[in-house]
Amino acid sequence: MYHALLSDRDVYFIAFDSNEVVIDTNYPVVSLNLNHLDDLIFLVGAEQLSAIRQHMTQQPLNFTFNVANLSFAMSRFDIDNSDTVFCLQVEAKQELSDAGKLSAIERDYQLITELSSSFNLLNSAGAAHMTDDLKHEIRDVHLPEVKSKLAELEDPSLKLCLEIVQANMESLLAEPDVNNQLLSVLTPSEYQVAEFIRSGMSSQEIANTLNVAKKTVENHRNSLRNKLGITNRGVNLRNYLQTLETK
């Protein structure tokens, strides 16, 4: 029955069985492999994916929802009282190209995936062995790409992560006397907290982002002051770090 529905090329469908296996689709997949219901998380998000599972047990089934520029409607077909097929109808709210039919979540996933080479480079790079060629590659290729993707991202958590990536790349390109001072005395966790402080985040916001206790962040703050030689408690740590950043 779902094959007849799939013949309508103006509306897209994803059909899956009671075992959550995708059995047919005409959705114009760009960055995803739609083999299992779990693969829809980058199309509909975790909350709606959970709702889809909940509605699979309901009869009659009447479930519709919207994600960004896409509208979804879920149908259920019982075949011979033994097998059940679920059909998720996907329709753009306005006429768009195939690329435009991507949900905001899938677009963000695609943008992050396209930065894999930049992430790999950043993971292996370090201020101690930065060559001129590597600096040029970061400055001319990877950093502009990160900034471009950052402007397109919609998910706040992904934007925050990419802002940290951008800050780390910029720190690798900064003058050695600034970044070597930080990199040589700080642990990776302390350096990460320092980047958050530079961006203006409070201790509670940093704790929430890193999923740690606020006390842990406060300990990192104290350690930063000690290692950077800030003995005057009247010195604002964020201002001090920003001063280092612009030297």
The confidence score (pLDDT) of residue 246 equals 44
Helix count and strand count (H, E) for the chain: 13, 5
The confidence score (pLDDT) of residue 130 equals 66
Give the whole-angstrom CA distance, residue 92 versus residue 71.
6
Identify whether 60 is preceded by a cis peptide bond (ω within 30 of 0).
Answer: yes
What is the enclosing helix (H) or strand (E) of 63? strand 63-67
Distances in Å between the alpha carbon of 10 and those of 35, 76, 161, 236?
A: 22, 20, 37, 59
The confidence score (pLDDT) of residue 184 equals 66
pLDDT (mean) for 74-86: 82
- Please return the burial class of 179, using the count of CB atoms within 10 Å of its CB with bins 0-12, 13-18 and 19+: buried
Nearest CA to 56 out of 40, 34, 43 is that of: 40
The confidence score (pLDDT) of residue 190 equals 86
The confidence score (pLDDT) of residue 236 equals 84
Task: For 174-184, write each residue's pLDDT tens digit.
Answer: 655 555 556 56
The confidence score (pLDDT) of residue 21 equals 92
Quick one: pLDDT band at residue 8, thresholds 50, 70, 90?
Answer: very low
**Residue 96, pLDDT above cutoff 50:** no
Report yes or no: 22 and 86 within 8 Å, Cβ to Cβ.
no
Task: For 27-70, write each residue's pLDDT tens digit.
Answer: 766 555 788 888 887 778 778 888 999 988 887 778 898 876 67
pLDDT (mean) for 167-174: 75
What is the enclosing helix (H) or strand (E) of 88? strand 83-92
The confidence score (pLDDT) of residue 61 equals 75
Within a 10 A sphere around the Cβ of 165, how many other Cβ atoms?
18
pLDDT (mean) for 155-172: 74
pLDDT (mean) for 187-196: 86
Quick one: pLDDT band at residue 105, thresholds 50, 70, 90?
Answer: low
Give the whole-angstrom CA distance, residue 155 versus residue 152.
10
Give the whole-angstrom CA distance, residue 200 versus residue 223.
18
Identify the structural domains of the chain with CATH numbers, from first to last.
2-99 (3.30.450.20), 114-173 (no CATH), 175-247 (1.10.10.10)
Residue with tokens 């509208």: 71
Give the whole-angstrom CA distance, residue 223 versus residue 187.
10
Within a 10 A sphere around the Cβ of 146, how many other Cβ atoms?
22
